[in-house]
Amino acid sequence: GEEVAQTPKHLVRGEGQKAKLYCAPIKGHSYVFWYQQVLKNEFKFLISFQNENVFDETGMPKERFSAKCLPNSPCSLEIQATKLEDSAVYFCASSQFRGRGQPQHFGDGTRLSIL
């Protein structure tokens, strides 16, 4: 598609439950990035992929967060045993090439609310 598609738009989970977010990058884009925007508007980089390979996972909390980009499937970000502090908007972005200042095109985000 011509846009980054993120689903669902809003996800509500009780503390301790699992949450799974999905992202379909723009067709032809090889790079996918996940960012977390917390309530104070701060963005935190989580992980990036080149096709189905993890490119950089330095921002991922190791214990509870995992992500995948499998061929012919939307990318996913999964949070096990959610905590109140995981409440945030999670953005997926994609770009066609790596580097060269390629703009990243963002989806509309998934708002995750942990109760």
Binding site for other proteins (CB under 8 A): 31, 33, 35, 40-43, 45, 48, 55-56, 58-59, 89, 91, 93, 95, 98-106, 108-109, 111
Where do we find the tokens 């090889």?
A: 30
Residue placing its CB nearer to other proteins in the complex, 15 or 56: 56
Cβ atoms of 43 and 36 within 8 Å: the answer is yes
Residue placing its CB nearer to other proteins in the complex, 41 or 72: 41
> CB of 90: closest distance to other proteins in angstroms?
11
> CB of 95: closest distance to other proteins in angstroms?
7
Judge residue 66's burial from the number of C-beta atoms within 10 Å of its C-beta, 0-12 exposed, 13-18 middle, 19 or more buried. Answer: middle
CA dist list (Å): 85 to 35, 39, 70, 82, 88 = 15, 10, 28, 8, 8
Cα separation, 4 vs 78, in Å, equals: 18
> CB of 41: closest distance to other proteins in angstroms?
5
Residue placing its CB nearer to other proteins in the complex, 19 or 32: 32
> CB of 113: closest distance to other proteins in angstroms?
14
